[in-house]
Amino acid sequence: MKTLVKMLMVTAVMAGPVFADSHHPQERGHKGDAMMGMMNHEQMQTMHQHMEKMQALMAEIRQESDPEKRTALMQTHMQDMQEGMQMMSSQGGMSPGSKGMSPMGMEERMGMMEQRMSMMHMMMQQMMEHDVEEKKYE
C-alpha cells in the first residue's frame, strides 16, 4: 500500500507540468511557451547526478549488514528521494517571458520529454528498491 501511495504521488507530481500547458491554449505562440514544464539541459544534468548518487547509496544499503548503519543509510536515501522529487517539480520549467529562452523545435522538445520520463522512471525504481530494502528487515 505504501508503494502504491508513493507511486501515485510521483506520478501526480511528474504529470503536472505535462498538463499545465494544455490549460492555456490562448497563450500559445508566445516566445518561451516551448520551455513551459521542461527542465533545461543543466537541470537535467543536475538531476542525473542526483540519481547516480541515490543509486550508489542504494548499493551501499544492500551491502550494509549493521542494522543501525543500514537504518541511517535508508533515512538518507529517503531524504535524497524527497529532494529529487522537489528538484523535478521545482525545476519543471521557466516562466514565459524569461530572458534567454528560445523557441524549441518539436524534436528537441520530444527529446527533453523523453529525458524527463527517463528520470521519472529512475525515481520510481529508486522508490521500489527502497521499499524492498525496507521490508527485508521489518
Per-residue pLDDT tens digits for 66-88:
999 999 999 999 999 999 888 88
Statement: residue 17 has pLDDT above 80: no
What sign for the dihedral angle of Cα 19, 122, 104, 45? positive
Provide the residue count of the chain: 138
Give the model's pLDDT for residue 37.
52
Residue 94 in contact with residue 32, Cβ under 8 Å?
yes
Distance (Å, rounded) from C-alpha 33 to C-alpha 118?
22
